Structure 1
Amino acid sequence: IEGGVTNGEPVLVRAAMKPLPTLMRPLRSVDLESGEPGEALVERSDVQAVEALAVVAEAAVAWELARAAREKFGGDALADFVAAHRAYLERIRWPRER
């Protein structure tokens, strides 16, 4: 990635997330209104969220790439952004002639 623009190679991201806060079996608890023993609520039942993480991560990467491109090429007007990007491509002679 150079100036928020890829060079044609895939963008690889290493990501991690915290475990889901899942209670499959309710824990022993106390009803705060009555003071009687009770059980906690079962919060969630999903066991994995890889697909959801992929969607969120893709959006986050796109946002950061757009932010970096705006920082490099300006962001006051789209025409200025496009002109700055074109000038940059000419300066580095992209695409490279074979």
Structure 2
Amino acid sequence: MLKVVVAVVLGGVLQLASAEKMQTKDQCFAKCAPLIAGEPAFKDPHEASLKKIRAKREGITDPEKLKQLDEEEADQLERFLDKNEKTCRSLCSSFPDTL
């Protein structure tokens, strides 16, 4: 958590000091979301969970079990997206709503 706070503060200071135009929270979030989703620290555990779910699926023919695994996979994806959104919201919280 401390690393996130330091990153946010440092990012805000560097943004103000740079020659780039200041960004809004929405612009920051639009740039952050794809970067976070591709970051190995977030992506690798998610992909490992999906592999486990897909491995369970092999050889199963029971429609009820397949439906349960589909729901488990959808839940995993939702958790991944929620975690990414929460991280980006935290990182972009220091940016202004409008310019």
Interval containing the TM-score (normalised by the shorter chain): 0.3 to 0.5
Per the normalisation by structure 2, the TM-score is 0.35
Which has a greater percent of strand?
1
Q: Max radius of gyration: which structure?
A: 1
Alignment TM-score, normalising by the size of structure 1: 0.35
- Which structure carries more helix by proportion? 2
* Structure with larger RCO (C-alpha < 8 A, sep 6+): 2
